[in-house]
């Protein structure tokens, strides 16, 4: 087997896919390892578990980093089989700075950083959660992400307008509530920026309860603003939902006019 054929085989095996038994096994192994790493980070944040199972969690971390490091090295080594990364040096540099390769690097970098520089270990443990983004290698995930980005691009004007309406409503309602409630409780509604916190919590119906009106007019305004908030914050959701439905419909129509055998477009009758 030539070096190029070996690189091509390694590249195909490390590309997430489920069309063959070896690729299916490697893909599920990496996916499972990523999910277990996220679970280990979550469980390790519990003091009793982190203390009692420290050796087990650390051993699993070493094993995971070894696997991810080997995978990253093999990806960089074999990336030159792709035409856009064909140059043995600059091609690998371009691959290394691509979003997915940077995600791979960030998945293993937190383990090696303490050996190079002094850094907060708690921050590094949090960075390990970035391994979850490696699932972006999945083809279906990429296709869905592209669909969402297309919708955001096509509906950007409507989304900008809807968010502008939300911002204006927050400014208006917080200013109004400040002038209504400040005389009654100046220590709570100190200024308009503080009132904005109340406006956001009220319009999103979160209602933490740390800031609330006590005057009759303030309570009436809060009731009206809560209803307005529900309707206003539903605008971006409705725009995105309509865009996604349209995108799915377009994709369905395209697939219906493609021959599953030859891949050619079926003439419309």
Write out pLDDT tens, residues 3-15.
888 998 998 888 8
- pLDDT tens for 171-197 read 999 999 999 999 999 998 999 988 999
Residue 19 gets which letter from DSSP?
A: S
Six-digit token string for 238: 């409705």
Decide which of 118 and 200 is more confident.
200
Q: What is the pLDDT of residue 175?
A: 93
Q: Which residue from 239, 106, 233, 225 is spatially nearest to 176, judged by alpha carbons?
A: 225
Decide which of 191 and 120 is more confident.
191
Q: What is the pLDDT of residue 201?
A: 87
* Residues 20 and 91: beta-carbon distance below 8 Å: no
User: What's this model's pTM, rounded to 2 decimal places?
Assistant: 0.63
Q: Convert 211-242 to b/e letters by CB count within 10 Å (16 or more is b).
A: bbbeeeebeebbeebeeebeebeebbeebbee
Q: Is pLDDT at 252 greater than 80 in this prediction?
A: no
Q: Which residue from 173, 146, 154 is spatially nearest to 233, judged by alpha carbons?
A: 173
Q: What is d(CA 205, CA 225) in angstroms, rounded to the nearest whole number? A: 10
Q: What is d(CA 71, CA 265) in angstroms, rounded to the nearest whole number? A: 39
Q: What residues does each domain of the chain span?
A: 3-136, 154-256
Six-digit token string for 47: 């003091």
Give the number of residues written for the chain: 269
Q: Which residue from 103, 33, 99, 29 is spatially nearest to 64, judged by alpha carbons?
A: 33
Q: Is pLDDT at 263 greater than 60 in this prediction?
A: no
Instruction: Tell which CATH classification among 3.20.20.80, 1.20.120.350, 1.10.1740.10, 1.10.10.10 matches the domain 3-136.
Output: 1.20.120.350
Q: Which residue from 62, 59, 67 is spatially nearest to 33, judged by alpha carbons?
A: 67
Q: What is d(CA 215, CA 223) in angstroms, rounded to the nearest whole number? A: 12
**Mean model confidence pLDDT for the chain:** 84
Q: What's the average model confidence in pLDDT over 223-227?
A: 89
Predicted confidence band of residue 101 (pLDDT cuts 50, 70, 90)? confident
Q: What is the pLDDT of residue 92?
A: 93
Decide which of 264 and 173 is more confident.
173
Question: Does domain 154-256 fall into CATH 3.30.1490.20?
Answer: no
Q: Is pLDDT at 268 greater than 90 in this prediction?
A: no
Q: What is the pLDDT of residue 164?
A: 93
Q: What is d(CA 65, CA 257) in angstroms, rounded to the nearest whole number? A: 46
Predicted confidence band of residue 163 (pLDDT cuts 50, 70, 90)? very high
Q: What is the pLDDT of residue 53?
A: 92
Question: Residue 130 CB: number of other CB atoms within 10 A?
Answer: 18
Six-digit token string for 133: 């983004």
Q: What's the average model confidence in pLDDT over 48-75?
A: 91
């Amino acid at each position: 087997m030539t070096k190029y054929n070996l690189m091509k085989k390694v590249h195909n095996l490390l590309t997430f896919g489920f069309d063959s038994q070896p690729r299916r096994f490697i893909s599920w192994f990496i996916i499972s390892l990523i999910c277990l790493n996220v679970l280990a980070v979550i469980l390790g944040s519990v003091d009793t578990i982190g203390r009692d199972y420290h050796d087990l969690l650390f051993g699993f971390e070493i094993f995971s980093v070894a696997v991810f490091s080997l995978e990253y090295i093999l990806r960089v080594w074999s990336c030159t089989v792709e035409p856009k990364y064909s140059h043995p040096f600059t091609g690998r540099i371009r691959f290394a700075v691509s979003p997915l390769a940077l995600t791979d690097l960030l998945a293993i970098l937190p383990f090696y950083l303490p050996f190079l520089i002094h850094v907060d270990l708690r921050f590094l443990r949090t960075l390990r959660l970035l391994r979850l983004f490696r699932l972006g290698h999945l083809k279906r995930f990429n296709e869905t992400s592209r669909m969402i980005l297309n919708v955001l691009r096509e509906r950007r004007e409507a989304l900008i307008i809807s968010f502008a309406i939300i911002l204006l409503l927050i400014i208006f309602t917080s200013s109004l509530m400040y002038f209504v409630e400040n005389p009654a409780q100046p220590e709570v509604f100190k200024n308009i920026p503080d009132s904005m916190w109340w406006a956001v919590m009220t319009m999103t119906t979160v209602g933490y309860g740390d800031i609330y009106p006590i005057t009759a007019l303030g309570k009436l305004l809060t009731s009206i603003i809560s209803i307005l908030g529900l309707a206003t914050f539903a605008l971006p959701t409705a725009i995105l939902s309509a865009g996604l439905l349209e995108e799915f419909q377009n994709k369905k129509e395209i697939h219906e006019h493609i021959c599953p055998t030859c891949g050619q477009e079926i003439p419309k009758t």
